[in-house]
Amino acid sequence: MKPFLLVLSAPSGGGKTTIARALLAAREDVGFSVSATTRKPRDGERDGIDYHFLSRDAFDRRVAAGEFLEWAEYGVERYGTLRSEVDRVLESGKHVVLDIEVQGAQQVRERCQNLVRVFIIPPNAAELVERLGGRNTEHPEEIVRRLRRAVDELTEAPTYDYVVVNSDRTQAVADVAAILDAEARRPARLDRLETTIQMLADGIANEVKLLNEQQES
């Protein structure tokens, strides 16, 4: 199996981080690309696990050094995918889950061939507002900013490869897992497909030869 990039996008509060984490816990064939950000850690977030928390200077230095596969501004903060993170996961033979917003997803689409993009949408507006407010991590102004942005982000959903409605978390994780499994079976992603087909063809030719010999004797 040739590993690929699985880009998950959703409006903030859409549940993509939870889905990504659940997918990681449930499957051995996926790894997570830990993004870099200039925003401050929330309670419980750990450096190097949830994000690489960088100062603005450190972030910009890495941008200048070409270390990012993509990066974007989200509100007043910067977020980006480090090439080293993606390579680390791919080299371990696993699919790479990227939990990124739409501008970054667009950049990845322009720069990588081997990716699948999934847009996760909330079942309704009330649920999105509740999830954003309920996690108690953002100031009310930031929540409003994120909701306004959600309206723009949602317009990008039709450009993705798949859309998953996150009304039930377990079902949404199962939906994304089904997408992963189907995409892993694309011919270009199967290892040694040509060899397998050649072996099958040789085997069939051999069987035909034996049948012919039996008929002749």
Q: Which is nearer to ligand 5GP, 100 or 172 (CB)?
A: 100
Residue 152 or residue 202: which is nearer to ligand 5GP going by CB? 152
Q: How far is the CB of 131 from ligand 5GP (least distance, A)?
A: 11
Residue nearest to ligand 5GP (CB): 104
CB of 104 to ligand 5GP, least distance (A): 2
Cβ distance to ligand 5GP smaller for residue 77 or 207: 77
52 within 8 A of 36, measured Cβ to Cβ:
yes
Q: Is 166 in the site for ligand 5GP (CB under 6 A)?
A: no
Q: How far is the CB of 150 from ligand 5GP (least distance, A)?
A: 9
Residue from 35, 38, 106, 166 touching ligand 5GP (CB under 6 A): that is: 35
Interface residues for ligand 5GP in 56-95 (CB under 6 A)? 70, 72, 74, 79-81
Span from 100-108, 128-136, 179-187, 194-202 in contact with ligand 5GP (CB under 6 A): 100-108
Applying CB under 6 A, which residues contact ligand 5GP?
A: 12, 35, 39, 70, 72, 74, 79-81, 99-101, 103-104
